[in-house]
Amino acid sequence: MKILHTADWHLGKRLENFSRLEEQKLVMNELQEIADAENVDLILVAGDLFDNFNPSSEAVELFYKTLKQLSKNGERPVVAIAGNHDSPDRIDAPNPLAKECGIILIGYPNAEIPIFELEHFKITKTDEGFIELKLNQFDYPIRILHTAYANEIRLKEYLGEDNKELALNQILKDSWQNIAENYCDENGVNILLTHLFMMKKGMPKPEEPEGEKPIMIGNADLIYSEIIPERIQYSALGHLHNYQNIGTVEKPVVYSSSSLCYSFSEARQTKSVTIIEAEPNQNVTIKNIALTQGKSLFRKTFDEVEKALDWLKENSDSLVELTFESDSFLKAEDRKLLYQTHHGIIHLIPKLKNDIVDSTQTDKSINLNQDIQDLFKDYFKSRNQNQEPNEELMSIFKEII
């Protein structure tokens, strides 16, 4: 059985004021092409389907269109869960209609999906946080333990009132272990699908991407991979945007990566989807397929305007965080020229080369009887390592006052 694992689409996400919707359309189309070329039998989407609780109509339309294409109008099941950026109610709402197209949407942890049957597959068993699928082309089922995102308090509520005093790791371990013991024998493929911040105990805590809505407050919501039941052959995770396997070669626990680079901390990362080949009572094999659509993100630093302009011309189809180091502040005409040369400059950060505080400098008294413009000059110099404000800045200040 071939399974495609993807996550963190963040449909509707912007980079500051720059829309990524056209890039998202391209990469969603690429996902479909990969699924078809690889002839996958099932698709798992591990949360953060949208970027916020109230996505735009364009993002919602792209979401439904993508799921319909991935499902091949009901031939191939798609299972998608909510992440911490998603509204559980919004994800759940279209489920009665979606399942007619072979799409199973899960908004809440511990959800129980009704049994139903389509032409190409059927749900044969269901329980809170669990479904078993039987695809026509296989004589064995696939079992999916699913836990959509919820914070620590809500997870404890969903998994039982008696659990409120227990550690979250223990609650999840008990819940998953109970499901695995009841349903996950050696006669089927056994998968965990969840959107939680999970790491391997004893390893450094992974960094959450810049701009990502953080899951963790302290360490309360941190989940350890050691609690995954032994019978689970592959764990499909969402939340971290860079591919990583925090499990083992034999039993992977995988963040498949986001579909695009969504912050400059992700610049130069290769985004991918993960293809799993699985059969009962055997180790899975996995491979990554790189996603090629979407603009490249760059963090670049220059000390000469001409060098910056040359590089910008050579990398016109990209999004850039540009830091400009110089002895004085950028002139208005240079700033204008940079923006005219490249329309993907998201941040333009000036940095003075002499940006070092003089330790010998002593506090000086402020003469409040000075002219307001002289006071402003003194203030500006105190904040900018004794750099004088230029004429343009003084002109703006005069206009303000």
Q: What is the pLDDT tens value at each position of the chain, 401 positions in all?
A: 999 999 999 999 999 889 999 999 999 999 999 999 999 999 999 999 999 999 999 999 999 999 999 999 889 999 999 999 999 999 988 877 888 889 999 999 989 999 999 999 999 999 999 999 999 999 999 999 999 998 777 787 777 756 655 688 888 999 999 999 999 999 999 999 999 989 888 887 777 666 666 555 445 557 899 999 999 999 999 999 999 999 999 999 999 999 999 999 898 889 999 999 999 999 999 999 999 999 999 999 998 889 999 999 999 999 999 998 887 777 888 889 999 999 999 998 888 776 544 544 556 677 777 888 888 988 888 877 677 788 888 889 998 98
pLDDT value at position 94?
Answer: 81
Q: How far is CA 396 from the centre of its chain?
A: 41
Phi/psi at 80 (5° precision) = -130, 135
159 neighbors 173 (Cβ within 8 angstroms): no
Tokens for 237?
A: 């995770």
Whether the CA torsion 233, 236, 240, 241 is positive or negative: it is positive
Which CATH number applies to 2-290: 3.40.47.10, 3.60.21.10, 3.40.50.2000, 3.90.105.10?
Answer: 3.60.21.10
pLDDT value at position 214?
Answer: 59
Tokens for 231?
A: 């019978």
168 neighbors 155 (Cβ within 8 angstroms): yes
Beta strand segments in 52-113, E = 78-81, 103-106
Tokens for 80?
A: 């998608």
pLDDT value at position 356?
Answer: 47
State the pairing for strand pair 285-290/272-277: antiparallel
Question: Which run of H or of E encompasses 45?
Answer: strand 42-46
Q: How far is CA 59 from the centre of its chain?
A: 16
Beta strand segments in 253-304, E = 253-255, 272-277, 285-290, 296-302
State the Cα–Cα distance between residues 363 and 366, nearest whole angstrom: 9
Domain extent listing, the chain: 2-290, 296-400
From residue 279, alpha-carbon distances to 28, 77, 144, 190 in Å are: 28, 17, 14, 9
State the Cα–Cα distance between residues 150 and 54, nearest whole angstrom: 18
Q: What letter represents residue 225's amino acid?
A: S
Please tell me the pTM assigned to this model: 0.84
| β partners of residue 236 | 193, 254
